[in-house]
Amino acid sequence: MYPIFPGIQVILYKILSVQAPAKKPFLCSAKVNELKKIKVGAVSYLNTKPMMYGMKSEAFLQEHELVPDYPAKVADMLKSGAVDVGLVPVALLHDLPRYYIVSDYCIASDYEVASVCLFSEVPVNQITTVYLDYQSRTSVALAKVLMKEFWGINPLLIDAKDESYRTKINGTTAAVVIGDRALEQRRLSTYIYDLANEWRVMTSLPFVFAVWVSLKPMSEEWIKKFNEANAAGMQRLDEIAEEQKFSSYDLKKYYTNNINYVLDDEKRKGMNRFLEFLNV
């Protein structure tokens, strides 16, 4: 064995005494939370295009992921946690133990909405069967309230399963149709009962169809930015209407006369009145 000289022994001692550098704290989970995009359930109808205009911007999409679908599906996604925020049917609020309305914007109408109607070939008092649109909960609930409280009819109600139900509008069989398909159906049916206008006649209040809701509180800063995103398209309604290339209905009229996007005090009164009917 070779001898170790004193100087070399000191050097070896220092080398062996050096501790390995401490590991840095594991920060991955915090970073994931910071980078996680907020999932926004967005209704894929023409009436939401002005609201969605500002949500297509690069700045918004850096922090959010849009998940489009029809209203009832967005409601299911919010309840299951598949989205963080959703534009959901107002009727859903009746079933939620806790919720937060996170925007000053909504889908509402002061009088005729045009895209939520009961379509028939006979007057309402002669209707014996009504097919109910599978894409909406609020519109179906509103139709039921009007049948009982305003029209005084008690037809057989059938939950539609797919698009074929619109072909059954004939004789004394009617159907509730919503969204873009309702704008198309207006050209086909003899009798059109606009549900928002019927509600106005019955209650003297506007009707709110959908609101932005989360199941957890959102920060004031986020709500401010989200309102700004909703508002971005409101000054471009004519431009947005032109872009859609929709021939079945005048979208300029639709965006300016039929739909009202601001969730003001009067609309909140109308919304609360509707929820009261659902509690009966």
Domain ranges of the chain: 36-109+208-266, 116-203
Q: What is the pLDDT of residue 25?
A: 38
Give me the mean pLDDT over the 22-49 stretch: 66
Residue 1 and residue 51: Cα distance in Å, rounded?
Answer: 84
Domains 36-109+208-266 and 116-203 belong to one CATH topology: yes
For 45, 74, 182, 246, the CA distances from 135, given in Å and listed in that order, are 11, 10, 12, 20
In this predicted structure, the answer to whether residue 31 has a pLDDT above a threshold of 90 is: no
Residue 115's pLDDT is: 95
Pairing of strands 129-132, 156-159: parallel
Determine the pLDDT at residue 279. 87
The DSSP letter of residue 136 is -
Query: 129 pLDDT exceeds 60?
Result: yes
Q: Report, as an integer, the average pLDDT of 236-264.
A: 95
Q: Of 206, 184, 180, which is closest to residue 195 (Cα–Cα)?
A: 206
Q: Which pLDDT does position 245 carry in this prediction?
A: 87
Query: Mean pLDDT throughout 101-124?
Result: 97
Average pLDDT over residues 132-138: 90
**How confident is the prediction for the chain on average, in pLDDT?**
88
pTM over 0.95: no
pLDDT of residue 82: 96
For the segment(s) 116-203, the CATH number from 2.120.10.70, 3.40.190.10, 3.90.420.10, 3.40.630.30 is 3.40.190.10
What is 36-109+208-266's CATH number? 3.40.190.10
User: Using 50, 70 and 90 to split pLDDT, how confident is the model at 72?
Assistant: confident
* pLDDT confidence tier of residue 22, bands split at 50, 70 and 90: very low
The dihedral built from the CA positions of residue 236, 108, 206 and 126, taken in this order, carries a sign that is positive
* Strands (DSSP E) found in the chain: 38-43, 64-69, 85-89, 100-109, 116-120, 129-132, 156-159, 173-178, 191-194, 207-214, 260-262
Residue 166 has pLDDT above 80, yes or no: yes
- CA-based end-to-end distance of the chain: 97
Question: What is the pLDDT, as a whole number, of residue 44?
Answer: 84
**Given this model, what pLDDT does residue 35 score?**
61
Statement: residue 66 has pLDDT above 90: yes
